[in-house]
């Protein structure tokens, strides 16, 4: 079995497991499907509301009665909250940009890839703003507030993010202008 077929099977299994958990009222509501071309998204109603922006690439989302710490898949913004490290160049700007895109109470749709959680137990997701379906992960990279961070097997949008980052870099947008 080839890697792509294995990934499709894993995503399908994950989607089934999540759907079953949601039918029982447990876990985050997510929508996953495998469409031609490797896309994992499908149009779905919002499944949570932002309760807090932690930094440029991490938010808290109220899903039912639970609050999930959500890490955006495929992107990395400069650090602002790690006490062991100084605030990264353009970190405050990235955090403020995410806050402007996702103010508290904003309805969002969370879409999973192959792995649902990272080693810190954060939910890994592609985040879409529900009112206009804006793909927040991509917007951070496009506007120059984030670089790419590709961690297999969660790679559904890796090529798209790489192209957006290359364009932001060539246009000297955001951190590409101000950070060495």
Q: What is the pLDDT of residues 120-163, one digit of tens each?
A: 999 999 999 999 999 999 999 999 999 999 999 999 999 999 99
Q: Are 159 and 107 in contact (CB under 8 A)?
A: no
Domain for residue 6, yes or no?
A: no
Q: Give catalytic status of residue 6 as yes or no.
A: no
CATH number at residue 73: 2.40.50.90
* Domain presence at residue 14: no
Q: Are 49 and 108 in contact (CB under 8 A)?
A: yes
Residue 84 annotated as catalytic: no
Cβ-Cβ contacts under 8 Å for 60 (sequence gap 6 or more): 50, 51, 52, 53, 54, 67, 68, 69, 70
Q: Which range marks the domain in which residue 98 is found?
A: 44-178
CA gap 164, 146 in Å, rounded: 10
71 is annotated as an active-site residue: yes
To the nearest whole number, what is the mean pLDDT of the chain? 82
Q: Out of 68, 79, 93, 139, which one is annotated catalytic?
A: 79
Given 68, 93, 122, 142, the catalytic residue: 122
Predicted TM-score (pTM) of this structure:
0.76
In a domain, 21, yes or no: no
- Is the residue at 34 inside a domain? no
User: Which one of 68, 71, 93, 142 is the catalytic residue?
Assistant: 71
State mean pLDDT over 88-105: 97
Please check whether residue 161 lies inside any domain of the structure.
yes
180: which 2 tokens?
């060495």
SS3 16: helix
Model confidence pLDDT, tens digit, residues 66-84:
999 999 999 999 999 988 9
Which of 22-31, 34-43, 151-160 is most confident?
151-160
Q: Is residue 91 part of a domain?
A: yes
Residue 16 has pLDDT above 80, yes or no: no
Q: Report the domain count for the chain.
A: 1
């Amino acid at each position: 079995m080839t890697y792509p077929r294995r990934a499709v099977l894993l995503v399908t299994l994950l989607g089934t497991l999540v759907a079953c958990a949601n039918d029982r009222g447990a876990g985050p509501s997510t929508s996953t499907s495998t469409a031609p071309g490797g896309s994992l998204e499908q149009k779905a109603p919002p499944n949570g509301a932002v309760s807090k922006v932690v930094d440029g690439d991490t938010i808290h989302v109220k899903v039912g009665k639970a609050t999930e710490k959500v890490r955006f898949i495929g992107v990395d913004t400069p650090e602002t909250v790690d006490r062991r490290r100084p605030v990264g160049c353009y970190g405050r700007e990235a955090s403020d940009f995410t806050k402007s895109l996702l103010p508290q109470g904003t309805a969002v749709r969370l879409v999973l890839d192959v792995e649902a959680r990272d080693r810190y137990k954060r939910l890994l997701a592609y985040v879409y703003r529900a009112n206009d379906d804006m793909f927040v992960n991509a917007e951070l990279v496009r506007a120059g507030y984030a670089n790419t961070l590709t961690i297999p097997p969660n790679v559904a949008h890796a090529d798209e993010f790489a192209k957006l980052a290359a364009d932001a870099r060539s246009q000297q947008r955001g951190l590409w202008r101000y950070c060495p």
